[in-house]
Amino acid sequence: MPEGDTVFRAAYRLHAALADKTLVRSDFRIPSLATKDLSGGRIDRVRAAGKHLFVDLTGDGGRALSIHSHLMMDGAWHVYRPGQKWRRPGHRARVVLRTADTEAVGFDLGVLQLTADPAGVVAHLGPDLLGAQWDPAVAAANLAAAPECPLGPALLDQRLLAGIGNIYSNELCFIAGVHPATPVSAAGDLDRLVDIAHRLLTQNALRTVRVTTGDRRRGRELWVYGREHRPCRRCSTIVRRSAITIPPVTTDRVIFYCPSCQPARTVSPSF
């Protein structure tokens, strides 16, 4: 699952390449949109909302329309010059948008649809960590309203706050000193946690390397994510990997944690 900063960065690159340009061709390669032709449309902007990406355009007759996509597990948007070789196979392309000097290709997109109501698509999302309307108080209150939910999965719940994927969820639990399975009610200072989340995503939004430790050197960027069987950077205890399953989600959430820095808690800590 991509992190919000990945989607933000994709939107930033697409916006720089496509905004204020006219589509000379659109090529939707999924059955539901195969007959759609947006050529002649003018791209107003490309933006992220949580992990959702919108290409807003003005079509024929001045009608506002948005191409909504979600990267889900493996999706990516690439920007090419016309004729440049693609970095993924053509059969994985779901949409190609061409302007006079740019070819934007959406590969393996988990969601791809046209909508005249982009606001409605994301109305269920909590405050967007990288959005202009970011509201930390609402995000913290939303988390607090799910007291029994384990903290790790709660941070991933886009209805509470939008933009956190599994890497940030695990890293934030470590930074807070809280085991990911700890109920939100026992997870300590939620305002502080939400502020750290906002700071990390903002700092990483336009970086190519995601850093939560403050150390940008290769292999030292993250505290616990992907580091099972290796020593904790803080206390040298071996980092563990496990999983949390919460209904109705049937897929396990993989968790990484240091058993010493992140002991299981049932009562509220004081940090």
DSSP string, 43-92: EEEEEEETTEEEEEEE-GGG-EEEEEEE-TTT-EEEEE-TTPPPSS-GGG
Q: How far is residue 1 from each of residues 51, 54, 73, 167, 187, measured CA to CA in Å?
A: 9, 18, 5, 9, 24
Nearest-CB residue to Zn ion?
232
Catalytic, out of 3, 103, 171, 221:
3
Q: Clarify whether 147 is annotated catalytic.
A: no
Give the integer Cα–Cα distance in Å for 26 and 93.
12
Nearest distance from residue 164's CB to Zn ion, in Å?
22
What one-letter code names the amino acid at 38? L
Q: Which is nearer to Zn ion, 66 or 262 (CB)?
A: 262
Taking the complex as a whole, how short is the minimal distance between the CB of residue 259 and Zn ion, in angstroms? Answer: 8
- Cβ at position 258, least distance to Zn ion in Å: 3
Active site residue 259: no
Enumerate binding residues for Zn ion (CB under 5 A). 232, 234-235, 237, 258, 260-261
User: Closer to Zn ion at the Cβ: 113 or 260?
Assistant: 260
Residue with Cβ nearer Zn ion (162 or 239): 239
User: What is the bridge-based pairing of β-strands 103-107 and 93-98?
Assistant: antiparallel
Confirm if 136 and 113 have CB atoms less than 8 A apart. Answer: no
Q: Catalytic pick from 36, 51, 150, 259?
A: 51
| Catalytic residue list contains 21 | no
CB nearer Zn ion, residue 58 or residue 260: 260
Q: Which is nearer to Zn ion, 234 or 240 (CB)?
A: 234
Nearest approach in angstroms of CB 246 to Zn ion is 25
- Minimum CB distance to Zn ion smaller for 113 or for 237: 237
| Both tokens assigned to 117 | 């109501």
Q: Give CA–CA dist 47/131, Å, rounded.
A: 10
Cβ at position 236, least distance to Zn ion in Å? 7
Q: C-beta of 185: minimal distance to Zn ion in Å?
A: 24
Q: List the catalytic residues.
A: 2-3, 51
